[in-house]
Structure 1
Amino acid sequence: MSAQEQQVHIRIDETKMATAYANTIRSGTTSDELILDFGVNLPVQSGAKQGEPMQMVFSVGSRVIMNWSTAKRLLGSIHQAVAAYEKAYGTIDLEGPKPVART
């Protein structure tokens, strides 16, 4: 290590961390930032007539805004995590589980 380089230790403080579940995401961008809205798709229980499509509500629980450098690091972290998961458990089906019809 040169005289100008200095080692930095990072301590992670999780005392104010909030944990949330999300099954869907919406993204937006600006020239400076990536905006990610995490939330849950919830079916609407309405008096819809037979044959009408079911309605879903995207309930946003958290918004995360980051600069593009952080977004690229997040992309790398997610890529590594997904690759490790698929190596252990097989390819992730993006279509999701198929509902089973009641008879």
Structure 2
Amino acid sequence: MADEPTPGEQQQQVQLMLDESQMKTSFANAYRIHTTAEEVVLDYGFNMANPNPQGGGQQLLFKVTDRIILSYPNVKRLAMSLQQLVRQYEQRMGEIPTNPGQPKAAGPR
């Protein structure tokens, strides 16, 4: 293959440098996903109770705070990384509930 170094050829190392000067940290407990043929759009934010103006109880408001647009190859790499991270966490800490606070479904009776 053309990408493989020939014998005796030194493989060049690349050093990754991080610039975190423009970084911001946000909390998210909710997300929304949009897709196109070329990209995946991830909206992050948080759910909050919103009093219903018509007096019919409460509404749940999804407040979007951040949007990230990724190419499909990057989405796949991110999904693989997150899968590995969750697997390692659950091996150490136990299964992560996906609906905390909701009772687990009872088995067949």
Shorter-normalised TM-score: what interval? 0.7 to 0.9
Match of 2:74 in 1: 70
Cα deviation digits, residues 21-59 of structure 1 (max 9, x gap): 00000001011101000000000134664xx45310000
Report the alpha carbon displacement of residue 89 of structure 1 after superposing the two structures with TM: 1.1
Report 1 or 2 for greater relative contact order, CA contacts < 8 Å, sequence distance ≥ 6: 1
Q: State which of 29, 43, 49 in structure 1 corresponds to 2:35.
A: 29
Alpha-carbon separation, structure 1, partners of 2:91 and 2:12: 37
Structure 2 length-normalised TM = 0.78
**Structure 1: gaps spanning 5 or more residues:** 99-103
Percent identity for Structure 1 against Structure 2: 34
1:85 partnered with 2:94: no
Secondary structure of 1:44's partner?
Answer: strand
Match of 1:101 in 2: none
Match of 1:14 in 2: 20
Structure 2 counterpart of 1:59, one-letter code:
K
Secondary structure of 2:51's partner?
Answer: coil
Secondary structure of 2:21's partner?
Answer: coil
Cα contact 1:48–1:54 (8 A) shared by 2: no
Kindly tell me the number of residue pairs found equivalent between the two proteins: 97
Structure 1 length-normalised TM = 0.82
Aligned Cα root-mean-square deviation (Å): 2.2
Structure 2 counterpart of 1:85, one-letter code:
Y
Alpha-carbon separation, structure 2, partners of 1:53 and 1:96: 22
Range with greater deviation from structure 2 (37-46 or 55-64) = 37-46
Secondary structure of 1:17's partner?
Answer: coil
